[in-house]
């Protein structure tokens, strides 16, 4: 990572310019250190979120994959219906009524300020060069760029 430079220069007596330049150098060094620490923290946070996302992945039977007839894992996706509770207590009355109507629910469906709704979660390939697969011999990762032929069995 590069340092921070303010682009500020000084004119005046040599002693004053040297003193001001030294002070500015100390300030720029502190800013560079802070920027470096902030950048490192952001990279660490992004890495942790990426690993958490990878761990949240799921395996689906190939018959449940949408676009499985396309020889490109980046186009493949699987969908799963899940029920989840949504807390409606902090919604305004208008927002809550709109939310309930959108999901085919009424106020009588609220239990302690929450309502259960059906949700569709979509899973996609992570875009990496390897494709994870469960096979007869166990779990393996296939380097998709080395696949020479591909055929999709009918569902």
Tokens of 99: 């939310």
34-62 pLDDT, tens digit per residue, is 677 777 777 788 888 877 877 777 888 88
Of residues 89 and 54, which shows the higher confidence score?
89
| Cα angle value 12/15/18 (rounded, 5°) | 85
123-154 pLDDT, tens digit per residue, is 888 778 888 888 888 888 888 888 888 777 66
Distance, CA of 14 to chain centre: 53
| pLDDT interval class at 115 (50, 70, 90) | very high
What pLDDT, on a 0 to 100 scale, did the predictor assign at position 19?
60
Q: Where are the alpha helices (DSSP H) in the chain?
A: 14-55, 93-102
């Amino acid at each position: 990572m590069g340092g921070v430079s303010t682009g500020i220069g000084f004119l005046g007596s040599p002693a004053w310019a040297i003193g001001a330049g030294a002070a500015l150098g100390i300030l720029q060094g502190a800013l560079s250190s802070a920027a470096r620490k902030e950048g490192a923290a952001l990279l660490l946070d992004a890495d942790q979120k990426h690993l958490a996302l990878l761990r949240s992945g799921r395996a689906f039977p190939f018959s449940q994959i949408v676009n499985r007839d396309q020889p490109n894992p980046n186009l493949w996706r699987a969908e799963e219906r899940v029920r989840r509770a949504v807390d409606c207590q902090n919604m305004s009355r208008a927002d809550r009524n709109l939310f309930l109507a959108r999901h085919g629910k009424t106020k009588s469906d609220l239990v302690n300020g929450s309502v259960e709704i059906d949700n569709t979660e979509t899973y996609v390939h992570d875009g990496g060069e390897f494709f994870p697969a469960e096979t007869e011999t166990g779990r393996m990762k296939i380097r998709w760029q080395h696949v020479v032929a591909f055929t999709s069995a009918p569902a």
